[in-house]
Amino acid sequence: MLQRSVALFDAHAAIAHLVVVLPADVVASGAELVGPTQRACTCVAGGARRQDSVAAGAAALPAEVDVVLIHDAARPFADAALIDRVIAGTTRAGAAVPAIPIRDTVKRVDSDTRLVAETVPRDGLWLAQTPQGFRRAVLDAAIALGATGIAATDEAMLAERAGHAVALVEGDERNVKITTPEDLAGARARYETPSRVGTGYDLHRLVAGRPLVLAGVVVPSDRGPLGHSDGDVVCHALIDAICGGAGAGDIGRHFPNTDPAWKDAAGLDLLARSLAIVRELGWTVTSADVTVILERPKLAPHIDDICGRLGAVLGLATSAVSVKGKTNEGVDAVGRGEAIAAHAVAVLAPIPERAR
């Protein structure tokens, strides 16, 4: 969450300097926690209260900074448009807070009896978010007021009490604050990029004098697949599934059979190259399932070896790789033993931005 929040501001054209306020015991490893940034980034120790932490962060800012945005790392789903609105509101009014209107009925409850004391009219009530923006002089005044012992839940409250106007700008429903484990689970389910599923298929005629290679495993047979490369239907079908799931086309786009470079190329080598292609697009394979359709020979004695070799290239445990052998019950060319085919399914997950 911290890295995602920092990355948002680091990528914004209007941001010149970053200050990250951390617990005192992790400041020394702050650069590692935050990750690399384009903008200058300073890590400082926070205090017992929010306003103490904000004061520490403001003290670390360069003197020439005029507009300061204060953001909760626990809100990792803010976006550039929200930052734009806060900066515009701050420039106009001196301070600005993004907020969304309350839609539910609000009850004030007696803390001792847990009985409803009154129903509060919701007209004019808004839920404040971050980032909150302040002209430097306004923020300094708010911090000074907080230092007198006045407690506040955010800096806008201190700015208001110091006599400064605070503009309200449009917030964002997606800009949720993650506070509890349930919040985290909900945020992951709602906002993380979903996994993708790709499917693949490959078929080769079987001819005498060719080895039968499946995921690099040479299966004893009197015939093997005819093809430009090694005819490894397991790898070829899986390549189509992986590339398809990442929106990267198919095996023919990347390794055309008209290119001499791929003559007799090993399927496992092409599979490794395909993984590099989809990784550049931000995806990684999390599981793979392949069904090989072949009348003979039986593949059962070789399945574990095939799965192991696939897992080694994919970087997956063998429990995440499945290969099954089926026959076509004598139906069509595959059933007559004239061809071999494979169907594949691959599940892809997004690679976190900073891990690419």
The pLDDT tens digits of the residues spanning 36-83 come to: 999 999 999 999 999 999 999 999 999 999 999 999 999 999 999 999
Among residues 237, 234, 238, 277, the alpha carbon closest in space to that of 254 is found at 277
Q: Over 50: is that where the pLDDT of 270 sits? A: yes
The string of DSSP codes covering 175-231 is: -----SHHHHHHHHHHHSPPPEEEEEEEEEEEEET--EEETTEEE--SEEE-SSS--
- Does residue 83 contact residue 14 with C-beta atoms inside 8 Å? yes
Q: What is the pLDDT of residue 351?
A: 80
List beta partners, residue 100: 127
Q: Amino acid identity, residue 317?
A: A
Residues 2-191, CATH architecture: Alpha-Beta Complex (3.90)
Residues of 109-120 as b/e, b for ≥16 C-beta within 10 angstroms?
Answer: eeeeeeeeeeee
Q: Which residues contact 148 (CB under 8 A, 6 or more apart)?
A: none
When pLDDT is cut at 50, 70 and 90, the band that residue 185 belongs to is confident
Looking at the chain, which residues constitute the CATH 3.30.1330.50 domain(s)? 196-355
Backbone phi, psi, residue 150, to 5° = -70, 125
- Does residue 334 contact residue 202 with C-beta atoms inside 8 Å? no
CA 106 – CA 120 distance, rounded (Å): 5
Q: What is the pLDDT of residue 354?
A: 41
Q: What is the pLDDT of residue 192?
A: 67
CATH 1.10.287.130 fits 196-355, yes or no: no
> What is the tens place of the pLDDT at every residue in 191-237?
666 789 999 999 999 999 999 999 999 999 999 999 999 999 999 99
List beta partners, residue 17: 40
State pTM to two decimals: 0.58
CA 71 – CA 80 distance, rounded (Å): 13
- Does residue 274 contact residue 262 with C-beta atoms inside 8 Å? no
200: which 2 tokens? 């693949």
- How many percent of the chain have pLDDT more than 70? 98
Looking at the chain, which residues constitute the CATH 3.90.550.10 domain(s)? 2-191
Distance from chain centroid for Cα 103? 30
Q: What is the pLDDT of residue 194?
A: 78
The stretch 240-254 carries a mean pLDDT of 96
List beta partners, residue 157: none
CA 281 – CA 283 distance, rounded (Å): 6
The string of DSSP codes covering 218-267 is: EE--SEEE-SSS---HHHHHHHHHHHHHTT---HHHHS-TT-GGGTT--H
CA 283 – CA 243 distance, rounded (Å): 10
- Does residue 347 contact residue 322 with C-beta atoms inside 8 Å? no
Backbone phi, psi, residue 348, to 5° = -115, 145
- Does residue 231 contact residue 213 with C-beta atoms inside 8 Å? yes
Q: What is the pLDDT of residue 352?
A: 63
CA 339 – CA 242 distance, rounded (Å): 23
The number of beta carbons lying within 10 Å of the beta carbon of residue 173 is 9
When pLDDT is cut at 50, 70 and 90, the band that residue 350 belongs to is confident
Least confident of 143-152, 192-201, 292-301, 314-323: 192-201
Half-sphere exposure in the Cβ direction for 58 (13 Å, CA)? 24
